[in-house]
C-alpha cells in the first residue's frame, strides 16, 4: 500500500463496491440474529454478565476472565444498563461488533489488496464463517479481537492515503480499545507501527521532513492506547488500589494467561493453534434448556442439552496455509506494501499462538487471526482464477461449495444441530 497514487485494481469485475459490501453486511446481520431469542443463555453468558456487574459496581474482578483487560466488562455493563438485563443487553454488544467487523474486513481488504473483488470475497467469507457467527451470538468478548484491530488498521490505511492526523488518532483509539479487550491486539499494533515507521523513513529519505510525524505517530499509537488501557481500570482503582498493586495485578494476569491450566475438561477439546488449518477443529459451548417443564430425560437427544459448536468451514480454513504462502511469494515478487502488510498481520497474529505450548490455545482465539486469513484466501482464489478462461464458473462453484458447507455448520453454531439427525448422530459418535 503505497498511498493514494496507487489505482484501485479489479480482478473479476465488481461495481458499486460499497453497495455490495452493505448487502454482505446485512447478510451477516441476518445470520447473527436469526433465532437468537430461542438460543438459551449459556453459563459463559451468565458469567460474563455477572462479571461485568461485579466489576463496574464493586471494582472486583471475576468470577470469570479476571486475567483479561476490562473493556469487555465496561461494554457489556453499558449495554445491560441501556437495554436491560435481557438478551439484547447481554449479547447485543457482541452482535453489533460482529456485524461491523464484516464491513471492516471488506474495507481493510480493499485498502491492503487493492482489489474490490478480493475485498468482497473476504467480507463474504467472514460473514459466513461459523466460528465468527457463533462468537457474535454470545456475550463472551472474543469477537472484539477481530473488530478493534481491524478498526485501527483501517484508520492507519486512511492516514497513509491522505496524512490526515485525525485518522492516526482514531487508529490509536482503535488499538487502545483492542488492547483493553485482549492483549493479543498488541501483535497487529506492532506490525502497523513498524509499517508506518518504514513509510516515514522512506519519505524522509526522499527529502520530506518527518520528525514531527514520527513523534505524533508515537503519541497516537503508543501513548494514546496506553492511556485508554489504564482508563478502563478506573472502577478497580476506585476501590483504593495503588499503582503498585495494579502492576502486581498485571503480573498475576500474565502468569494466568501464560499458563491457563486447571481446565481438565477443556483440555480434551481442540487446543493447539498449529492444528487450526490442517484438520477440522471446533469450539463448543453447552447448556441445558428445560422450558417445557417436562422431566429431563434423554438429554443426549438434544431436546434439553444444547450444543453451540463453531466449526471452521473446510473450504476456507484448509486453504489458509497455501493462501498465506502464495501471498508471501507475491510479496517477494512485487514488493507490494499492501500485500506485505496483510501477510505480516497474519503471521504476527498466528505464529505466537501456533508456537505456544505452555498453555492450551482454544479455537475461539482464532478470531484474532481469521480476518487476515480471509484476506489471504480471497487473494489466492481471485488471483489464481483471473488468468483462467472459465473463472466465473469456477468462482461460482467455489462459492457454492462454501455455502454448501456453511449450512449445516451454521445450525451447529446456533444450537440447532441436534434437530438434524445426521448432525446429531455424528457428534454423538465423536
> Which residue bears the cell 489466492?
380
> Which residue bears the cell 476501590?
239
Report residue 204's pLDDT band, with 50, 70 and 90 as the boundaries: low
Return d(Cα 61, Cα 66) in angstroms, integer.
Answer: 5
pLDDT at position 388, please? 77
Query: Does residue 262 surpass a pLDDT of 80?
Result: no
The grid coordinates listed for 121 are 470475497
pLDDT at position 139, please? 95
Q: Are 375 and 122 in contact (CB under 8 A)?
A: yes
pLDDT at position 29, please? 99
pLDDT at position 123, please? 98
Concatenated DSSP letters for 356-378?
A: --SS---GGGGGGTHHHHHHHHH
> Which residue bears the cell 479455537?
363
Return d(Cα 337, Cα 247) in angstroms, integer.
Answer: 38
Query: Does residue 347 surpass a pLDDT of 90?
Result: yes
Share of the chain above pLDDT 90, in %: 71
For β-strands 305-311 and 282-288, DSSP reports them as: antiparallel
Query: Does residue 13 surpass a pLDDT of 60?
Result: no
**Low-confidence winner among 1-5, 274-278, 323-327, 400-404 (lowest mean pLDDT):** 1-5
Torsion of CA 85, 87, 92, 94, to 10 degrees: 110
- How many CB atoms neighbour CB 212 within 10 A? 8
Question: For 103-153, what is each residue's pLDDT tens digit?
Answer: 999 999 999 999 999 999 999 999 999 999 999 999 999 999 999 999 999
Share of the chain above pLDDT 70, in %: 87
More reliable by pLDDT, 54 or 423? 54
Mean pLDDT of the residues in the chain? 88
Question: For 274-332, what is each residue's pLDDT tens digit?
Answer: 999 999 999 988 776 655 444 434 444 445 567 788 999 999 999 999 999 999 999 99
More reliable by pLDDT, 214 or 25? 25
pLDDT at position 292, please? 47
pTM of the complete model = 0.91
For 40, counting Cβ atoms within 10 Å of its Cβ (0-12 exposed, 13-18 middle, 19+ buried), the class is: middle
How big is the chain, counted in residues?
A: 430
Amino acid at each position: 500500500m503505497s498511498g493514494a497514487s496507487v489505482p484501485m485494481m479489479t480482478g473479476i469485475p465488481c461495481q458499486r463496491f460499497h453497495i455490495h459490501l452493505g448487502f454482505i453486511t446485512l447478510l451477516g446481520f441476518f445470520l447473527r440474529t436469526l433465532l437468537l431469542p430461542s438460543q438459551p443463555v449459556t453459563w459463559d453468558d451468565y458469567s460474563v454478565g455477572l462479571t461485568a456487574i461485579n466489576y463496574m459496581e464493586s471494582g472486583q474482578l471475576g468470577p470469570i476472565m479476571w486475567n483479561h483487560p476490562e473493556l469487555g466488562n465496561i461494554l457489556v455493563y453499558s449495554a445491560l444498563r441501556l437495554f436491560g438485563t435481557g438478551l439484547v443487553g447481554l449479547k447485543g454488544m457482541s452482535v453489533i461488533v460482529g456485524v461491523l467487523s464484516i464491513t471492516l474486513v471488506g474495507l481493510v481488504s480493499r485498502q491492503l489488496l487493492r482489489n474490490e473483488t478480493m475485498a468482497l470475497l473476504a467480507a463474504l467469507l467472514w460473514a459466513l464463517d461459523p466460528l465468527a457467527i457463533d462468537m457474535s451470538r454470545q456475550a463472551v468478548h472474543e469477537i472484539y479481537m477481530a473488530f478493534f484491530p481491524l478498526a485501527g488498521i483501517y484508520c492507519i490505511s486512511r492516514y497513509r492515503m491522505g496524512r490526515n492526523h485525525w485518522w492516526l488518532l482514531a487508529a490509536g483509539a482503535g488499538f487502545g480499545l483492542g488492547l483493553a479487550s485482549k492483549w493479543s491486539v498488541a501483535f497487529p499494533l506492532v506490525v502497523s507501527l513498524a509499517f508506518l515507521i518504514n513509510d516515514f523513513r522512506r519519505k524522509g529519505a526522499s527529502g520530506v521532513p518527518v520528525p514531527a510525524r514520527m513523534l505524533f505517530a508515537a503519541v497516537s499509537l503508543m501513548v494514546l492506547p496506553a492511556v485508554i488501557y489504564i482508563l478502563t481500570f478506573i472502577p478497580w482503582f476506585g476501590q483504593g488500589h495503588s499503582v503498585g498493586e495494579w502492576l502486581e495485578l498485571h503480573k498475576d494476569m500474565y502468569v494466568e494467561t501464560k499458563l491457563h491450566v486447571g481446565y481438565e475438561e477443556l483440555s480434551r477439546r481442540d487446543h493447539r493453534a498449529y492444528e487450526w488449518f490442517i484438520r477440522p477443529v471446533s469450539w463448543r459451548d453447552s447448556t441445558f434448556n428445560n422450558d417445557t417443564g417436562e422431566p429431563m430425560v434423554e438429554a443426549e437427544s438434544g431436546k434439553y442439552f444444547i450444543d453451540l459448536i463453531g466449526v471452521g468451514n473446510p473450504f476456507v480454513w484448509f486453504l489458509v496455509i497455501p493462501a498465506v504462502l502464495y501471498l508471501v511469494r507475491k510479496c517477494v515478487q512485487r514488493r507490494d506494501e499492501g500485500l506485505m502488510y496483510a501477510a505480516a498481520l497474519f503471521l504476527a497474529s498466528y505464529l505466537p499462538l501456533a508456537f505456544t505450548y505452555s498453555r492450551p490455545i482454544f479455537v475461539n482465539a482464532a478470531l484474532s487471526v481469521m480476518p487476515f486469513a480471509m484476506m489471504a484466501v480471497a487473494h489466492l482464489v481471485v488471483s489464481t482464477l483471473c488468468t483462467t478462461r472459465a473463472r466465473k464458473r469456477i468462482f461460482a462453484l467455489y462459492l457454492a461449495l462454501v455455502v454448501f458447507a456453511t449450512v449445516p455448520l451454521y445450525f451447529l453454531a446456533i444450537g440447532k444441530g441436534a434437530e438434524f439427525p445426521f448432525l446429531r448422530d455424528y457428534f454423538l459418535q465423536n
